[in-house]
Amino acid sequence: MQDKDPVTLVILGASGDLTHRLLLPGLGTLLKSRPEYRVNLVGAAADDLTADQWADRVREGLAEGGCPAERVEQMVAATRFEHLDVTDPAALKAFLADLDAAGHPIVLYFALPPAVSIAACEAMTQFDLPEGMRLAIEKPFGSSYDTAHAFNRLLTSLVPERQMYRVDHYLGKATVLNLLGVRFGNRIFEPIWDTANIEQIEVIADESLALEGRAGYYDHAGALRDMIQSHLLLVMAMVAMEEPARIDEVELRDLIVHTLRATHLAGDDPLTASRRARYTAGSIDGKDIPSYVAEEGVDAARNTETLAEVNLEIRNSRWAGVPFRLRSGKALWDGFRGIVIKFRPVVHLPEGFHNTAEPNVMVIGLTPETLAIGISTNAEGDRWDLEQTTLSADLSESPVRPYGEILQGILDDDPLLSVRGDMTEECWRILTPVVDAWASGAVPMDEYKAGSNGPDNWR
Ligand code: NDP
């Protein structure tokens, strides 16, 4: 395949965790499976990383993603690292002007702490930016509806929305993309994808891992902000959205936001529509887990939840009356991640069967990527007994990791898998009442033992 035109990918915050753990390996997977991409990689951070240390990180990260050794060495030889305080307008201006002189499109990837990203954007309002520059922004996209809105205004004062790539790597997950294929590539699902046939939909992202030393980030975020606010709401919207006429960035994102706009807390009441809990000491796979508040770096006074559940309703004719339950937590025994679609019972079961037909359940696993549908069949022993049989399949995995998929979109200048500004605002509009209710203490903080399936009183 012919090489693509080169793009300059600048990572601000190149010495950080995201770059090391996710961005470089993701890029490695992309370059492995799509060698035609030509990327001039530039790293920048405020600290004392040397050029050699940066080269080592690039080498390690790309190799981890499976990028062939020869290509890794080409990338290492061509990359450079700059010491830069991104909040300094003069330094940032000179840095960008120098990059612009190379004449290639520039992607500025903000792998920075959120407050520093905002400060860098404010610094950039003070000078003209390189023509066509794309901005890649990491979550969190604000911390409430108002802050998300203010951040979006700041961003669009810099570049048009079309050049903005808000990254939610769940949109790069193969299963989430498979959802489109399963829903719209089959005759058998769309006609029954509605309130007449579906009783309940759950989107769940539990994990068996506990804090794993990430208190610095997690204790300020918690399960609601970390998982439900962006990832799970977007997955839910892709499960529930109307059928796109074509898959392009305008149509898909319009339909996602259209669904989010119709989404509300169940009964509009954050007190009954949300629950939160925190794990206490327990064990998982034989490993002792301390209670969350005893984990290093956790400040109990922040009252951060490690398990969050929100019940929603989508007020349109397709979904009226169908509860949508979103849940995510840490230190849970089975770590299930996926979408569970529970169908309504059959309208009429012919007389003569000895038992009732269990409603069908469809489970789309996010990690690992699977599809399973429970159907009623005649039992082997007594032909007039019905029993459940599961039809299951492994869905195709992408050879490219989610961050590679996201980077591919950015390099191609295709924001299909990026979060548009109005999507972030809608997600915050839905959840801000929950954030406020939790902050006021109106919703109790329940407890569950690490390694259990959540608080006893949640069952
Ligand atoms: P880190 O704290 O590990 O890294 C932050 C980076 O920003 C460092 O390279 C730091 O350099 C740099 N930096 C800070 N201030 C400045 C400045 N004034 N000028 C230049 N560079 C600066 O954060 P993460 O990598 O974990 O997170 C980055 C972003 O990605 C955040 O928005 C986070 O929410 C998001 N994210 C992170 C995930 C993860 O797993 N880590 C997952 C999903 C999203 P220095 O050391 O010199 O200060």
Please give the C-alpha separations between residue 230 and each of 116, 240, 260, 418, in angstroms, as whole numbers: 20, 15, 11, 12
Whole-number Å distance between alpha carbons of 459 and 454: 8
Nearest CA to ligand 1 atom 31: 113
Q: Tell me the pLDDT band of 145, cut-offs 50, 70 and 90.
A: very high
Residue 167 near residue 419 (C-beta atoms within 8 A): yes
Question: Is the minimum distance from the CB of 113 to ligand 1 under 6 angstroms?
Answer: yes
Where are any strands of DSSP class E within 174-286?
198-206, 263-265, 274-280, 282-284
For residue 361, which of 394, 338, 329 has the smallest C-alpha distance? 338
pTM of the model: 0.94
- Whether the CB-CB separation of 455 and 446 falls below 8 Å is answered with yes
Rg (CA), the chain: 24
Nearest CA to ligand 1 atom 12: 13
CA of 18 to the centre of ligand 1 (A): 7
Rounded-to-integer distance, Cα 228 and Cα 205, Å: 9
Query: Ligand 1 center to residue 17 CA distance, Å?
Result: 7
| Greatest distance between any 2 Cα atoms in the chain | 82
Q: Residues, the chain, total?
A: 459
- What are the respective helix, strand and coil percentages of the chain, to the nearest 5? 40, 25, 35
CA of 13 to the centre of ligand 1 (A): 5
Side chain identity at 370, as an amino acid letter?
T
Integer Cα distance of 403 and 267 in angstroms: 36
Q: Torsion-angle region of residue 158: left (phi > 0), alpha (psi -120 to 50) or beta?
A: alpha
Backbone angles phi, psi at 117, to 5 degrees: -60, -45
Cα separation, 438 vs 305, whole angstroms: 10
Q: Say yes or no: CB of residue 296 within 6 Å of ligand 1.
A: no
Task: Tell me whether strands 274-280 and 445-449 are parallel, antiparallel or unpaired.
Answer: parallel
- What's the pLDDT tens digit per position in 97-125? 999 999 999 999 999 999 999 999 999 99
CB neighbours of 333 closer than 8 A, spacing ≥ 6? Answer: 208, 284, 451, 452, 453
Residues involved in catalysis? 231
Would you state the pLDDT for residue 230? 85
pLDDT tens per residue across span 33-79: 999 999 999 999 998 789 999 999 999 999 999 999 999 999 999 99
Q: 359 preceded by cis ω (within 30°)?
A: no
Say how far apart CA 62 and CA 65 lie, in whole Å.
5
Q: Could you give the CA distance from residue 322 to residue 428 in angstroms, rounded to a whole number?
A: 21
Please work out whether the CB of residue 49 comes within 6 Å of at least one atom of ligand 1.
Answer: no
Name beta bridge partners: 301: none
Residue 212's pLDDT is: 86
- pLDDT tens-digit map of 335-372: 999 999 999 999 999 999 999 999 999 999 988 889 99
Tokens of 35: 């060698």
Q: In the prediction, which pLDDT does 369 show? A: 87
pLDDT of 394: 92
Residue 19 alpha carbon to ligand 1 centre in Å: 8
Atom of ligand 1 nearest to the CA of 87: 18
Instruction: List the Cα angle 338/214/172 in 5-degree steps.
Output: 35
Peptide bond into 6 cis (omega under 30): no
As a whole number of Å, the end-to-end CA separation of the chain is 55
| Confidence grade of residue 170 (pLDDT, cut at 50, 70, 90) | confident
User: What integer pLDDT is reported at residue 126 of this predicted model?
Assistant: 97
Element (H, E) at 83: strand 80-83
Question: Which residue in 240, 235, 194, 181 sits closest to 367, CA to CA?
Answer: 235
Does the C-beta of 416 come closer than 6 Å to ligand 1?
no
Q: Would the pLDDT of 293 be above 90?
A: yes
* C-beta of 47 in contact with ligand 1 (< 6 A): yes
Determine the pLDDT at residue 217: 86
Q: What is the DSSP letter of 230?
A: I
- All domains of the chain, ordered by start, with CATH? 7-138 (3.40.50.720), 171-398+419-458 (3.30.360.10)
| 87 CB within 6 A, ligand 1 | yes
- 93: helix, strand or coil: helix
Nearest CA to 237 out of 423, 434, 422 is that of 423
Nearest atom, ligand 1, residue 119 CA: 18
Mean of pLDDT over the chain = 95
The SS3 call for residue 314 is: strand
pLDDT, average across residues 394-399: 84
Of the residues 10, 11, 18, 218, which should be mutated to test ligand 1's pocket, given the most ligand atoms within 8 Å of the CB? 18
How confident is the model at residue 398, as a pLDDT? 83
